[in-house]
Every structure is written in structure tokens, then in C-alpha cells.
Structure 1
């Protein structure tokens, strides 16, 4: 029996390796995802707006990882409350033409490690960068952006890093295909009654098990939102729920995508639903050991399939 298992394991490894030789992207590496979250949550001080050294350390780490993946990294500095903060950008694909933006914020709320919020989103962004770097060609430009100052007291203000980035695109007249915000993607729970909703009736539609990824968007989000949600669900191995609601519904705009809506760009939120599922949201207990690296990796694999046009 042990010999049979060993042979099956070797066969699976060869098939996985062979896919890479044939030009197909290798699946997301859960060890790398874990390493990114460890790097972000192991700093001397939490990476919030009061601890510039930690935010800068996180920014330097992200920039180095984007460069290692083959991106063309740039830094977008700006001033908030008399201090300088930085968005970190990495570019893949052709220089010209409409862009797809994929972003995740790297700051945290208060004095907490932020493994899921939003270490998981940044880890997904960096692993997506590595996988994009393996592509022979991309059909359009993809900009990966790590934002700062998404959390309070800057949320819903022009000092959000995503507001600064979206405004810069708008002011420069840059055409944007759409935007995908990666927000809290690592927390899952298969038990019943672990998933909550802004409206109680939604549990009869989406279920009570917190074991899925959500593609959330507002009504009137355009063709990009419809296509992304449909293609992501078709590509994903893990369960995916497509959620569309008025922008005023609590939670529907609770991340960086709201600033792209502000400037007229279509945008979606890819999330594990954050506080509607994860009781450790914005708490010191939001730690790595509570996250599911396998399902985080599956979420990245589906994202790669959609954004690379495969």
C-alpha cells in the first residue's frame, strides 16, 4: 500500500512539473503564501499609519517581491497628515492599451497583526505576480498595486492609497478595463452557522457555512463585473458565491474598490467576507494559524486563470 501511494505521489508531481514545461502556469505555492504573511505579521510594530517604519518595511518587501517576479516596480509616494506614505506598483504585459488593476492594501487597523486583513490579500497579490511572471505573453497590461492607508482613520477619505491611485489614473486619462480588490482571502469555516450577512434573509440564498469566496459588486457595475464574476466562478475549484447589491448595503464597498467606483471605473471585491465570517477581524487574534493556505492558493489559481485570459 505504501508503495502504491508513493508511486501515485510521484506521478502527481510529474504531472504538475510537466504542466510548467508545456507553458501552463504552475499552481499557487502555499509555502510562498505563508512566507509572505509571516513577513508581514512579524515586524517589530504593527503596520499601521502610526508606525511608519513598519509600513516602509512592508513596502520594501512588497517592492522586492514584485521585482523578483519580473514586474516593473514603481513607487507612488504621497503625503497624509504631514507624513509620506507609499503605494507600490508592479506592471506586467504591454505598456500601452487599457489596464486591468488588481490591488490589495498592506496596512492594518490598530495594534494587530492583520494576517487575514490584509496579509492574505497581499500574499495573494504577490503570488499572482510570480505566476504572471511565468506567462509567455499577456493580452493586456496588468497593474498590481499594494495600497497603504486603507484602514481607519483614512477609510472613505482622499488619503486612502487607492483613492490616490485611482485619481492619478483618472487625471491622466488612462483607460482601465476594470479593477479587482483582494481583501481578506484566507479564512474559511465548513461548520454550519459560521457565515453571517448584512441581511438575515441572505442566508437562505447563500447558506450558513463560511467555506466560499465571494465576488461582490454593486448594481450597474457594467460588463467587466459580470464577466469577471462568471469567469472566476467557472475557473475556481473552491466554492464561489456571486453577490451583487446596492452600493449602500453594509460591506459591499468596504475596501479599495470603492475609490475606483468614485472615478467611474468598474470594480469588484474578491473576499472571504471578512467580519461577516471571521470573528478575529480587527483583533489581535487575526493570526496566521487561523488561515487556510490551501484554499487561499485555490483562490489565487482562479484569479490567475481569469486575469491572464486562459
Structure 2
């Protein structure tokens, strides 16, 4: 049901007029420190609660970084209860072939409802929100999208984190996107809460387990111990609307993060090494896979 992996080889080329062989440049590696700086940029804006200035500026920041990295950057506007919301989409330069989507939510929770003190303050969202965005934006810098045999989109979902609050719902942006997308992706990978120094990424229970196994096997090959190939929680996250449509989708998430939905979800809790484990795993997996071999959604 899922693709066989292929290893990209960098072929030596002959210099015209001579016999000297040169190797193609090595690919640029995902850098955890650069990704953490992207987390810091988002946190510096303030809580990215939909409808706030910080949320709007976070969207503009994402679009600007996508454009600077050479991706086509688009908005998908929608409304909920009078609020103007927007998903953000980065499209790589590759043309033709199946579609693969990486997703992350860029909003942060309006109220830190798990604070013991019950402050009512919004969540800073360093790990829950900013870490997934940072992984995707750093991948936008390092992925050789023009050399891929498929189309890759980076989708930044709005309004994921309002559920459980008065008048709020979960995963609004991904539900809207999944309902509106005009073709079925071959696979969807959601990245959420991946910056904790004590990184523990288990198989999320709702996820497509065969697809998850491929990603976790790639992490094991790279020596990334934050990926733990054991069953974990069942989580309502941005991968679920795609699963409901029969699309293979997984959620890469550390749900044992102790500062989830508290005012302590701050930049000091985010580890560059953890971001790098996730980013490099995805970088290698994406450059090795052959989605043309996938049968696609049933």
C-alpha cells in the first residue's frame, strides 16, 4: 500500500574536454539551529491566536519565507463564525507526478487551560505550533524539490487549536483544506509538537501504520532515537480529515510534552537537536521515496 524507498545517488559527471570526474554537490542538510531560530521568530510575534495582529504577521512571515526559498506561496481564505482565516500553501517547483503534502498548524491556543493557576492567558506556542512550522520552513530551504519525482506541497493550517473552549472547534483549517482539495494526495504527513528536548515520538494510533513505519525506519537508520516504534496515543489532529477521506496520513507528534496548553510552552523548552532529528528524517525520507509506486487512496 505504500511506496518502496529508493536511494538517490549523486552521479559523477565528466568535464567536457577532459577525463576528470567531479561529483555533484552534496545536498544541504537540515539544520536544527536554523529551525530553532524560526521558532524564535514566531514566538517573538506573541501568541498567534486567530484574529490577532500577531497571527496575521505570522502568516505574512510564513509566506515571505516560502517565497524567499523559491516556492510558490498561496493563501486559501475561509471563514468561521465571522472570523477571517486562511491556510497557507507552499508549492514546490516540480511538475507532474503524485502529490505529497507536509502539514503543520501555525496558530496558537487562545487560552492556557491547563495552567494550574488558571491565568486565562494565551499559550506562547513555542512547541505547540511554532515547532512544526519551523520544520516545514527549514525543509523549504534544503529540499531539492526540482529533482523530486512528485509534487510536494507545504501546507500551514489555520485554526487548529481552538477546540474545547467556548465556541471553539479543533482542526478547522485542515478540515476546510481536505474538503476543498481537488485531487487526493498520495500521502499527508503532519508535524506537531516536535521540539521537546525529551523527544518521544510514538506511532500515533489513528495514523496509517505502514506509512508511519517507513518514516520511523528512516529515523532508525539515521540513529534518531526520538522516534520510538511503539504504539502511542490516539490524537485528533490535522491528519484526521485526510484519513476520513481514505488518504494515507500520519501525525508526527510528541504528546508527552508536559507544557502542552500552558503558559510554560516557551522558547527555552525547544531543542534544536530534536527539531533536527525530525527535519533530517523527513528530508531523507522525502528524497528517497518513489510515490509513483503507491496505489494511492482507496
| TM-score bin (small chain) | 0.7 to 0.9
CA distance in 1 between counterparts of 2:157 and 2:101 reads 12
CA distance in 2 between counterparts of 1:228 and 1:155 reads 30
Deviation at 1:222, TM superposition (A): 6.6
Deviation at 1:280, TM superposition (A): 1.2
The 1:175–1:232 alpha-carbon spacing in structure 2 relative to 1, beyond 3 Å, is farther
Q: Say yes or no: does 1:138 pair with 2:120.
A: no
2:226 and 2:277 in contact (8 A); partners too: no
Deviation string for 1:179-208 (max 9, x for gaps)?
10100000023xxxxxxxxxxxxxxxxxxx
Residue number in structure 2 paired with 1:188: 197
Residue number in structure 1 paired with 2:49: 48
Deviation at 1:215, TM superposition (A): 4.0
Provide the aligned C-alpha RMSD in A: 2.2
Residue number in structure 1 paired with 2:275: 296
The 1:288–1:156 alpha-carbon spacing in structure 2 relative to 1, beyond 3 Å, is closer
Deviation string for 1:85-132 (max 9, x for gaps)?
111111114333321110000111121210000111110110011111
CA distance in 2 between counterparts of 1:217 and 1:140 reads 27
Written as runs of structure 1 = structure 2, the 5 A alignment for 1:77-156 is 77-110=77-110, 111-132=122-143, 134=144, 137-153=147-163, 154-156=168-170
2:101 and 2:153 in contact (8 A); partners too: yes
Unpaired runs of 5+ in structure 2?
Answer: 1-22, 111-121, 290-298
CA distance in 2 between counterparts of 1:103 and 1:280 reads 22
Unpaired runs of 5+ in structure 1?
Answer: 1-20, 190-210, 246-250
Question: TM-score, normalised on structure 1?
Answer: 0.74
CA distance in 2 between counterparts of 1:225 and 1:213 reads 11
1:37 and 1:119 in contact (8 A); partners too: yes
1:238 and 1:299 in contact (8 A); partners too: no
